[in-house]
Amino acid sequence: MIRLEAREQASRTAVIVAPLAAIAFTLAACGLLVLWAGAPIGRSFAALIAGGFGSRFALAETLTRATPLILTGLAAAVAFRARFYNIGAEGQLYLGALAAVAVGGLHGGAGFTLAAPLLFIAMMIAAMLAGALWLAIAAVLRTRLAVDEVVTTLLLNFVVLLFVSWMLDGPMKDPTAMGWPQSVALIPELELSKLVERSRLHTGLLIALGAAALLWAMLKFTALGFEMRAVGANSAAARFAGIPVNATVIKTALFSGALAGLAGAVEVAGRTSYVTLDMSPGYGYAGIVVAMLAALNPLGVVLAAIFIAGMFVGADSMSRAVMVPTYIADVIVAVALLAMLVAAQLVRFRVRWTA
């Protein structure tokens, strides 16, 4: 029989070795997949790393992809900290994108004009509100009726995608898009400027980094941050200590949904300029992995998001170079998640085999 025994103190070597071992395991497991696809292992991994991190262009592309991942990662991190399992960031991201385009599109319509910077801020606020209020549904169902938020947020993702599909087919359809379901584009004044010339990297990265710093400070230094951590650590004890648990859960949900909604707005303003049904390749779900890899630390989220984004960008270029299907990136991310969970547990506990 296996038994877990808490370590009195995690050894410093274990803390460093465990994540490295998890990454090594992930790469080894995915090496088998590369072999199965009939590609040379060395060249494939070289293409993966070079494609993700190997050049100025690769780095810019990786940081472009990391931008929404930082925000969805923060959305998951803040929610999971309070043990509110928001699995709906994907849907909140799409609603945020839709709200941003809807508000941005007000410009010039029906005699309404507003200075571009003000309208930009209104756009971002609308996106955050859309994400926050959408997640509030699941939060209220959880606090009022004890409905598990995992299932509701998962199911609501499908509802959002259908809603977006309808909006892009009807009310918000771009009439000039030749039948493609996409929204009207933002006017150029509302788009984020480029950070690096001849790349797609935009100032949205700075917004994401700012959000990470703010969230870190909020969790560490404010009363609300303390309450969130207390509710996550032990909600019964938190209630006993006089912390309003339900109110804290709802506030957490508002933060989490707002961050995911902001991810959608930043994607629209920085990269796509209009909403399509495939604008997110699962950033919402990958954000959960980012948050877990970062051990729910907002600053760690930045690093984890860059790692995951690098894997996605690298897998794209590996797939072009050696014909390994791009789905390998999703496998790497999922295996990395599971391996990292095990590694983290082994740092905290000693496994004892007993008779």
Partner 1 sequence: MMLADLWQIVASDAFWIATLRIGTPLIFGVLGVLLCERAGVLNLGIEGIMVAGAFAGWFAVYLGGSLWTGVLVAALTGAAFGLLHGVLTVPLGLSQHVTGLGITMATTSLSYFAYRVSFPKLTEPPRIAPFAELDFLLPVPVLGPVLGAQTALTILALALVPLIGYVLYRTPLGLAIRMVGENPAAAEGAGVSVTATRIGAIVGGSALMGIAGSFLTLAAFNAFFFNMVNGRGWICVALVVFASWRPGKALLGALLFAAFDAAQLRLQQSSVGGAVPYQWWLMVPYLLSITALVLVARKAAYPQALMKAYHRGER
Summarize as ranges the residues that interact with partner 1 (CB under 8 A): 1-4, 33, 36-37, 85, 87, 141, 145-148, 150-152, 154-156, 158-159, 162-163, 165-166, 169-170, 285, 288-289, 292, 323, 325, 327-328, 330-331, 333-335, 337-338, 341-342, 345, 349, 351
* Between 237 and 341, CB nearer to partner 1: 341
CB of 55 to partner 1, least distance (A): 26
Q: Which of 272, 260, 277, 281 is nearest to 162 (CA)?
A: 277
Per-residue DSSP letter, 186? P
Q: In angstroms, what is the minimal distance from the CB of 353 to partner 1? A: 10
Residue (101 or 315) nearer to partner 1, CB: 315
Question: Is residue 270 within 8 Å of 202, Cβ to Cβ?
Answer: yes
List the beta strands (DSSP E) in the chain. Answer: 2-6, 349-353
Question: Which residue's CB is nearer to partner 1, number 28 or number 351?
Answer: 351
Q: How far is the CB of 98 from partner 1 (least distance, A)?
A: 13
Nearer to partner 1, 53 or 285 (CB): 285
Shortest distance (Å) from residue 341 CB to partner 1: 5
In 185-280, alpha helices (H): 204-221, 223-233, 235-240, 245-267
| Helical pair 245-267 and 116-145, crossing angle rounded to 10 deg | 140
- Cβ closer to partner 1: 123 or 329? 329
Residue burial 278-309, b: 16+ Cβ < 10 Å; e: rest:
ebbeebbbbbbbbbbbbebbbebbbebbbbbb
Taking the complex as a whole, the smallest distance from the CB of residue 227 to partner 1 amounts, in Å, to: 22
